[in-house]
Structure 1
């Protein structure tokens, strides 16, 4: 149960981000400042954890016990090739943040999160093309349910498409593509490395990419010492630090399928906060759409577990 709760809390943490970003925009901050301060905070926290665990392992070794990094040999000491690979794998998550947060300038947070969640079927499509393997019937049903739920949750059934800003919609869908790429690459990048070290190097790669695209002038002009520090700390803590740590703890024990189901907790949390904190209107039909999307996400795992329980 503790591993299930760990993954659930990690996913729910992601759902907080869109509300914080909208509030940061309302305070006058720009995209580069918001994402840059987030990744800088995540960078500091992730490396702090990695260094702390490394020191704990050294103490345990002195006492004759096996440390956590020792369990990950031969990747306890990462080569520079492995480090560069991890940094490259972390860059899509930075791109996802840039696209997703920019979409929030044009469309409501409740719609932006629904568009981001299209990564569920986009990931299936990418894998099918890369592996040249046609998805099974369950996946086709899942995609159909997700599409139907998305139409309801986005309010298209009630208001049509005329009210949408298509720049925001496009950015939201591109963030889903980027997030699908992140999931695809991150799982294959040095999987035997210790989770703390993996997270630290991946966040480093994402931060460097953002700083190249948006030079961190906020570090020099004193802007970081205003409200941006609070927004960056919240975004870094709930977006770049807590979820990766909790996922690394829980996912190995509950499996990727169940983790995907619990990961959907991000969606209702984001919609709830956009409704209550940002005062965005979310109709009953849209809430039904959110529920349908959650069912679609859970469908493959529920089908798999049902088959596992049937007598052979």
Structure 2
């Protein structure tokens, strides 16, 4: 239960990010300042965690000198090649943030999170292409439910396609593509390294990319000492630091299927905050779409559990 709770809390953290970003935009901050401050504070938090882990390991070694076999020391030495691989694997996460946060300038928060959530079927498509294997009937049914739920939740049925800002829609879909690639790369990038070290180097790679695209003037012009620091800490903690740690703790114990189900809690949290905090109009039909999307995410795992259940005579 504690591992499921860890993944659930991590998903909820992701669900509140877009509301914080919209509030930061209302204060006049730019895309580079928002994403840059998020990754900078997340970078500091991640490496602070690494330092704490190293300090605890040193304490263990000092207190168990008489019994060296009882000390659990890292068996994998992190080389610079591994570090570069992890830094490269972290860049899609930064690109996702840039695309997703920029889409919030053009479309409502509730629509942006739904577009980002298309990573669910995009991940299936990427996996099918990589494995050269056609999705089965259950997966195809899931994709249909996800697509239909998205149309309802996005308000396409009510508003029609002519009333949408297609720049924001394209940015949201591209963010979903980038996030799908991040999931693929992060799962395969040096899995033998300790999760805290992996997270630290991946955030470092993403931060350097953002700083190249958007030079961090806020670090020297005093802007970080204003309200931007508050937004940076909130986004860094709930986006760049805490969820990766919680997912690293929980996912290995509950599996990717249950992670997808619990991770879907990100969607209703984001839509709910859009309605309550940002006062966006979310209709009953849109909530029906949200429920369909959640059903589509959970459906494959439900079928798996039904197949595994022993048949009683």
Whether TM-score is above 0.5 comes out as yes
Q: How does 1:29-178 map to 2 (within 5 A)?
A: 29-64=29-64, 65-67=70-72, 70=73, 72-73=74-75, 75=76, 77-178=77-178
The reply to whether residue 234 of structure 1 matches residue 234 of structure 2 is yes
Q: Distance in 2 between matches of 1:145 and 1:134?
A: 18
**Partner Cα separation in structure 2 for residue 285 and residue 231 of structure 1:** 33
CA distance in 2, matches of 1:209, 1:55: 30
**SS of the residue 2:162 aligns to:** coil
Deviations 1:74-102 (A, max 9, x none): x2x20000000000000000000000000
Report the counterpart of residue 283 of structure 1 in structure 2.
283
Q: How many residues align?
A: 307
Instruction: Measure the CA separation in 1 of the matches of 2:124 and 2:152.
Output: 22
| 2:194 matches 1:194 | yes
Deviation at 1:111, TM superposition (A): 0.2
Deviations 1:199-255 (Å, cap 9, x if unpaired)?
000000000000000000111111111110000000000000110111111111111
Question: What is the TM-score of this pair, normalised by structure 2?
Answer: 0.96
Name the counterpart of 1:12: 12
**Secondary structure of the corresponding residue to residue 148 of structure 1:** helix
Alpha-carbon shift at residue 267 of structure 1 (Å): 0.5
Question: How far apart are 1:66 and its partner, in Å?
Answer: 2.7
Q: How far apart are the structure 2 equivalents of 1:154 and 1:229?
A: 32
Consecutive unaligned residues in structure 1, runs of 5 or more: none
Alpha-carbon offset, residue 310 of structure 1: 3.6
How far apart are residue 192 of structure 1 and its match? 1.2
CA distance in structure 1 between the aligned counterparts of 2:163 and 2:281, rounded to whole angstroms: 14
The answer on 1:224 being equivalent to 2:229 is: no
Q: Secondary structure at the match of 2:191?
A: coil
1:9-38 deviations in whole A, cap 9, x for unaligned? 000000010000000000000000000000
**Aligned partners of 1:17, 1:210: CA distance in 2, in Å?**
18
